[in-house]
Structure 1
Amino acid sequence: MSDQTNYTKAFEELQTIVTEIESGEISVDELSDKVKRATELIRICKTKLTTTEENVNQILRDLEGEE
């Protein structure tokens, strides 16, 4: 997945990784890679949420200016 991954796909993959870690389904060797990937996914989700918040705030400011 690239940085253009949508929020839903990133969040679903993150949930899968957390489930695997919690259930012990992954080896110690895989753990480092899974944690790195989870960090990337969290960054993607955080960026998307921040961008969405900024867009909504801009729309609200634009609407207030029209009144």
Structure 2
Amino acid sequence: MAKTMKYEEAVRELEAIVDKLENDELDIDSMAERLKEAQKLIKLCKDKLTKTDEEIKKLLNGDEKQ
């Protein structure tokens, strides 16, 4: 998983992992690895959402001051 992955790509990866988990397509070893990957993807998504939220707030606050 690359740090430069876009939010949408990360969400698609997460959805694929969830689908495989729900359909019992993973053996126990693969499941552990995919869950670790999902954890990293969730953090990446949360970080991107937080950063975007902060940028939007800055932009909105800048507009209010003008």
Give yes or no for TM over 0.5: yes
Structure 1: which 5+ residue stretches go unaligned?
Answer: none
Runs of 4+ in 1 over 3 A off after TM superposition: none
Aligned pair count reads 66
Percent of aligned pairs with the same amino acid: 35
Determine the C-alpha separation between the residues in 2 that align with 1:33 and 1:54: 32
Structure 2: which 5+ residue stretches go unaligned?
Answer: none
1:62 maps to what in 2?
Answer: 62
1:49 maps to what in 2?
Answer: 49
Determine the C-alpha separation between the residues in 2 that align with 1:4 and 1:12: 15
| RMSD, aligned α-carbons | 0.6
